Amino acid sequence: MYPLFIILGVVMLMVCGQILFKEGVKKLGLKEITVLSVTRNFFLVISRPFIFSGFVIFGFSFLMWLVALSRFDLSYAVPLLSTSYIFVLIFSKLVYKEKVGKMRWLGVAIICAGVWLITLS
């Protein structure tokens, strides 16, 4: 069971990274960011504390992911990453007060069922 905590750690770090990216983008003060604007202002964007922290956390999750891949079959480990969708949806609803419709909740329920089935194998 201990190795499953490695994947859960990877997922939680990924979710934290996404949250930091979202905060960083909000703090840029731009309504819309495009690939071109990010490319032109790469160093400005990457130097923002939240965005930089998100990259650092993603880097650490990558290292943990390599550990997880050394202990699990790829066909088992990768589907478990889908639990990040569940945590992001819940966090978005609770913290950002995003509107989450019935179809999204149904999607999360299906993901939960799929993850449960995978862990049984």
Residue ranges per structural domain of the chain:
2-120
Q: What digits encode the pLDDT tens for the residues 51-81?
A: 999 999 999 999 999 999 999 999 889 998 9
Query: Two tokens at 53?
Result: 């922290």
What whole-number distance in Å separates Cα of residue 91 and Cα of residue 99? Answer: 12
Whether residue 50 contacts residue 21, with contact meaning beta carbons closer than 8 Å, is answered with: yes
**Whole-structure pTM value:** 0.83
Q: What digits encode the pLDDT tens for the residues 21-30?
A: 999 988 887 6
Q: What digits encode the pLDDT tens for the residues 90-108?
A: 999 998 899 999 999 999 9
Positive/negative CA dihedral, 113, 116, 120, 121: positive
Whether residue 25 contacts residue 33, with contact meaning beta carbons closer than 8 Å, is answered with: yes
